[in-house]
Structure 1
């Protein structure tokens, strides 16, 4: 990658700080490619978390539907 412009350097620093706060600082080794790799890992983690949340949501929905079938009807 060519030398970063001052604006790029500032943005990379800002993103790096945010990644560090989010727990991805161990992936940052001081190179721009590391910032891109850490963002990619964050995106992958977010996608996996969304899938897990959907699965948990479905478990709750199934439990609620099952409970609704077992409740006596209101008169």
Structure 2
């Protein structure tokens, strides 16, 4: 990668700081490619967290539906 422009360097520093705050600082080794890799890891983690949240939400939905059926049987 060619040398960073001052504007690029400022942006990379800003993104690096944000990544560090989010817990991805251990992936940063001082190279621009590390910043891109850390962002890619963050995106992957977000996708996995979304899938997990959807699974947990489905468990709640199923439990609520079963409870509603059980309540309706009691009311009959």
Which category describes the TM-score, using the shorter chain as reference length? over 0.9
Equivalent residue, structure 1, for 2:55: 55
- In structure 1, the gaps of 5 or more residues are none
The alignment yields a C-alpha RMSD, in angstroms, of: 1.1
Distance 1:69 1:45 in 2: 36
Instruction: Give the structure with the higher percent helix.
Output: 2
**How far apart are residue 73 of structure 1 and its match?**
3.4
Q: What is the TM-score of this pair, normalised by structure 2?
A: 0.94
Mapping for residues 1-75 of structure 1, pairs under 5 Å: 1-71=1-71, 72-73=74-75
| Corresponding residue pairs, total | 74
- In structure 2, the gaps of 5 or more residues are none
- Runs of at least 4 residues of structure 1 off by over 3 A? none
